[in-house]
Amino acid sequence: MSIAENRRARFEYHIEEQYEAGIVLEGWEVKAIRAGQVQLPDGYVLIRDGELFLIGCRINPLRTASTHVSPQADRTKKLLMGRAEIRRLIGKVEQRGFTLIPLDLHYKGGRVKAQIALAKGKAQHDKRETEKKRDWEREKGRLMRHKVSGPSASKD
């Protein structure tokens, strides 16, 4: 079940590979995520000292949060992956010019997981091509819907 999705990521980047990672969260963050108070569009993944960190994922605190906790909405969150996978990602990001971006947050086995992707930025002409394809699919759907629901010509 998806919690939050970064729709802009598929428009801005060519997605090469996808990975799933756990997230280190505080209690108030889990409650806020369950309430749907999460935004992911500006997020990216940073590699620091052989560890992955999710930056730019905004979790808005609930008003009913405990008084002894001082919530930070833009806190950097650590991602949990296997050491071998992290090493492989480091090699690809440093050598080939890839970047790591979050695609979505979802539940798996009662835990919050992040779907991250190894991606390359699209050029402006690629973005225009994506827009043209999307517009054509939308127009094609309208035409087909009109054709199906329109008056049918029957011969007697």
Angle at 94 between CA 8 and CA 101, to 5 degrees: 20
What domain range is 43 assigned to? Answer: 2-121
Q: Which two tokens stand for residue 52?
A: 């992955």
What predicted TM-score, i.e. pTM, was given to this entire model? 0.72
Tally of structural domains, the chain: 1
- What is the tens place of the pLDDT at every residue in 81-138? 999 988 888 888 887 778 888 988 889 988 889 899 888 877 777 778 888 888 888 8
CATH for 37: 2.40.280.10
Confidence of residue 53 (pLDDT cuts 50, 70, 90): very high
What is the rounded distance in angstroms from the CA atom of residue 96 to the CA atom of residue 120?
Answer: 9
Q: Which two tokens stand for residue 134?
A: 């999307």
Q: What is the mean pLDDT of the chain?
A: 82
Q: Is residue 43 part of a domain?
A: yes
What is the rounded distance in angstroms from the CA atom of residue 112 to the CA atom of residue 116?
Answer: 13
What is the rounded distance in angstroms from the CA atom of residue 139 to the CA atom of residue 22?
Answer: 39
Q: Is residue 87 part of a domain?
A: yes
Give the pLDDT confidence score for residue 66 in this predicted structure.
Answer: 64
